[in-house]
A and B are shown apart, each in its own frame.
Chain A
Amino acid sequence: MRMYYSRLKLASVLGVCLLGLLLCLPNGMRKPFPSIPWRQIHLGLDLRGGSYLLMQVDLKSLTHDRLQTLVENTRDALLKSQLGYQNINVNADKNTVSFQPRDTAEADRDVATLDKLPRVVPNEFSVKKQDDGTIALVLSADAIKARAREAVTQSIEIVRRRIDGTGAVDPEITRQGDDRIVVELPGISDPERIKALLGTTAKMTFRLVDSNPLHATYAPPGVSLVPMANPAEGGPLPVFDHVDVDGTDLTNAGAVIDQQTGEWAVSFSFDSVGTRAFSSVTQTNVGKRFAIVLDNKVIEAPVIRTPITGGNGQITGGFDAQKATDLALMLRAGALPAPLSVVEQRSIGPSLGADSIRAGILSLGVGFLLVVVFMVLFYGRFGWYADIALLANLVLMVAILSLFEATLTLPGMAGMLLTLGMAVDANILINERIREEVARGRTPLAAMQTGFERATSTIVDSNATAFLAHVMLFVFGTGPVRGFALTITIGIATTLFTTLLLSRMLMARWYARTRPASLPV
């Protein structure tokens, strides 16, 4: 390497450092005027307080629901074509719906009829005659996968809508893997309400109650005993499986106070499809009970007194303000395609976050000072230069993290600190080399040149291995640990820049200025 640096080179290295300093500014001040880009480091949940929820989409139930629908579709299609069937059933392990044709001669017509059933995705299922004479509708594995992917995408959208409705600030909702959703809620350290919101599928259906007294304890096919949402109101009600009106036909819902009773209620309005269905059911079934079923629980089952044709209605289910608001919110946001369950939850209160920031900054400050003092004591002038590079290193690390708008976590702070400890290693290597060369009796110039040259390959080698280890950690880690790996990986890059360019340049320029007879090593 040469010992002379052009002004341009010097200017560009200093320019990078200065730019780094500028990029750090957004982290400590307000945006002075709106037109400039303003990127800053975000504080992780462990530093600002908040909750992290990892939710799993129940894909099994999704497939199960689809098979149930297929059973109904099959029944309807066969009845319409005046074909008979027996023993229709679902095999959840094989993802099939199968039945016994009334007459083996009809089998081909059965297949042809069922082949016309609507498919949610292309080639969703195939209709086959089995060896045992039954006919089976088989869901294809690809279709199940495609549905699952779509369900997760849908779920994310609905989760976002529901959370936005609660007024949470800066929620982050992301997909993880095939069937998981990460929800990050800064500032919410008690996520119980949000969990209740997300844990409800909010599939709402309006179904008639079977008024036959014999069916109150025994449900014939086509009728199910559905428990009451509030068990105090009595035992399960026999409700027809046939859905008269579906919650997906709702256009709006809100929490209101009922004029007559003064209780909280949820008012809703239907779109044209829902309005039509709702008015026709209420016209033909005056005097019967009409159950409002949410997630397989009866909220209420009022008697239809007059036909309701306006497309508006109200649900009173003994709500308090919060419950009414949340139910209205869920109805507006739509039903989840499949149930979500929380498989991991981490909540950090705001005070703990503040403590962590204090601890992190204190450790960083003290650690930085210790390293600075050590370098000066052990390496004199060149130690000072290493310290200048170390400061630049810290600045550049913060700058790059800001530029990426990275999230800083407590382990991330630890990563920064360790980077500072490791960063001076390059300077130590260079200095020790120069020292050796001087001891061998070389001139100052030759000693510095050889020292730089020899140390460079060692520096690159030793950093490469650390780099590899932390890339692995980034790939396999989650949450805070990823933050740690990211800061170290960035730190290695800034370390190479500051030690191989900046500190070396400072040393070379000092040499060029003073032409010393001996080196301070």
Chain B
Amino acid sequence: MFGRPLLRFVRKDTHINFMRGRYMGLIVSAVLSIASIILFFHPGLTLGLDFRGGIVVEAKTSGPADFAKLRTALAAQHISHASLQAFGAPDDVLIRLDAGDDQNTDAVVDTVRRAVTDAQPGTTILRADAVGASVSAELFRNGMLALGLSLAMILVYIWFRFEWEFALSAVITLVLDLTKTMGFLVITGFEFDLVMVAAILTILGYSTNDKVVVYDRVRENLRKYRTMPLMELINLSINETLNRTLGTSSTVFLAALPLALWGGATLSGFAWTMLFGIVVGTSSSIFIAAPLLLFMGEGRLKRGAKAGPAPAQQKS
């Protein structure tokens, strides 16, 4: 076990002509993104409690849940438009109620709690959350603000470290990744809440990281091969970094996989979205960010003149 590696993704003399598929890549991406945007407007995201407001009560009944009984108990408390669903085991019940105009969601949560435990004695309440309308609007605003600012900061950072062609193509690609992730969320029906915003930001961070590594190599090769056509140069850079790209996406994928499988209700949506994002973010570096850079940078990217920042000096 100590010694030489046993496996490898691609041999070192691999030369896949990725740029030949550049139009195909962009077309597929455009189709997916447009489809995602359509899905985003109809049927739209399933907003989680954080952003929609209202109440959610999760209960474990003693013995199988008796839905008719529970409904009657709720109706007796004048709670008529609650949705009850089973999830997981037969004794797990999820009760939801949208935020009405009334400001006292927190009182309603207590009523629901009591009604459920009275209807089926021995019921334990696993979770009871209530979010008022004003708070949910605020949480949503903050979530979107975090997303927007992150994108802006990434743009500025890459611009600062590379050139604007790099920054612009990276951010366009990230936005496309984002739309596809939204499409994924609509199709899977995972709830879009603050934890999901965290997942999306992590995906953005990961996807950016992946693009930076490829860009880094492109920049290096621009200095090294002054006369090589840009298309060939980008192809070469992708091939040179392919092992690393596949390696890192595998380790992140492997790290997130157990969460998706055993992370429980709170985190499985988060983890599946992460897994999807890793696949999308990795492939978009190759099939979208690189072609965009090619279109924007053809004949414009400086060669050798602007040696980027020298590698940090190591003092050791």
A contacts, CB < 8 Å to B:
1-2, 5, 9, 46, 53-54, 189-190, 192, 195, 341-349, 351-352, 355-356, 359-360, 362-364, 366-368, 370-371, 374-381, 383-384, 410-411, 414, 417-418, 420-422, 424-425, 428-429, 432, 435-436, 439, 452-454, 456-458, 460-466, 468-470, 472-473, 475-481, 484-485, 488, 520-521
Q: Which residues of B contact A9 (CB under 8 A)?
A: 316
Q: Which residues of B contact A428 (CB under 8 A)?
A: 243-244, 247-248, 251
Q: Given A345-B131, A458-B212, A462-B213, list of 15 further CB < 8 A pairs? A: A53-B106, A363-B258, A367-B255, A378-B247, A414-B270, A418-B252, A425-B252, A428-B243, A436-B240, A456-B311, A457-B312, A469-B208, A472-B201, A473-B201, A476-B143
CB distance from A421 to the nearest CB of B (A): 3
Q: Is the CB of B256 within 8 A of A367?
A: yes
**Do A469 and B132 contact each other (CB < 8 Å), given the known contacts A378-B5, A411-B198?**
no
Contact B113 A344 (CB under 8 A): no
Contact B216 A461 (CB under 8 A): yes
User: Contacting A464 at CB < 8 Å: which of B8, B157, B213, B250?
Assistant: B157
Does B5 contact A377, Cβ atoms closer than 8 Å?
Answer: yes
Assess whether B194 is interfacial by the CB under 8 Å rule.
yes
Give chain A nearest CB distance to B264 CB in angstroms.
Answer: 4
Determine the main DSSP class of B at the interface with A. helix
A285 to chain B, nearest CB (A): 39
Which residues in B have their C-beta under 8 angstroms from that of A424? 248, 251
Distance (whole angstroms) from the CB of B125 to the closest CB of chain A:
6
Residue contact A414 to B250, C-beta cutoff 8 Å: no
27 contacts across the A-B interface (CB closer than 8 A) = A342-B130, A345-B105, A345-B130, A347-B127, A348-B127, A349-B125, A349-B127, A351-B126, A359-B263, A363-B262, A363-B263, A363-B267, A378-B5, A378-B8, A380-B5, A422-B251, A425-B209, A428-B248, A429-B244, A453-B311, A458-B216, A463-B209, A468-B153, A472-B150, A476-B145, A481-B194, A488-B202
Decide if B258 touches A366 in the complex (CB within 8 Å). yes
A344/B259 contact (C-beta < 8 A), A379-B5, A411-B195, A469-B208 known: no
**Interface on chain A toward B: helix, strand, loop, or mixed SS?**
helix
Q: Which residues of B contact A521 (CB under 8 A)?
A: 4-5
Which residues of B are in contact with A by a Cβ distance under 8 Å? 1-9, 12, 58, 60, 103-106, 109-110, 113, 124-132, 134-135, 139, 142-143, 145-146, 149-150, 153-154, 157-158, 161, 194-195, 197-198, 201-202, 204-206, 208-210, 212-213, 216, 220, 240-241, 243-244, 247-248, 250-259, 261-264, 266-267, 270-271, 274, 309, 311-312, 314, 316
- Cβ-defined contact, A343 with B134, below 8 A: yes
Contact B146 A472 (CB under 8 A): yes
- Complex CA–CA separation, A418 to B197 (angstroms): 15
Query: Given contacts A370-B257, A457-B216, A458-B212, are A352 and B134 in contact (CB under 8 A)?
Result: no
A residues less than 8 Å from B158 (CB atoms): 465
- Residue in B6, B129, B194, B205 whose beta carbon sits within 8 Å of that of A345 in the complex: B129
List the count of A-B residue pairs having beta carbons below 8 Å apart.
270
Query: Residues of A contacting B150 with CB < 8 Å?
Result: 468-469, 472-473
With A367-B254, A473-B150 as contacts: A355 and B264 at CB distance below 8 Å = yes
Interface centre among B142, B251, B312 (most CB of A within 10 A): B251
Bound CA–CA A376/B3 (angstroms): 9
A454 surroundings in chain B (CB, below 8 A): 220, 311
Distance, CA A379 to CA B5, complexed state (A): 5
Contacts of A479 on B, CB cut-off 8 Å? 194
B252–A422 touching, CB < 8 Å: yes
Nearest chain A CB to B247 CB, angstrom units: 4
Contacts of A469 in B (CB 8 A): 150, 153-154, 201-202, 204-205, 208
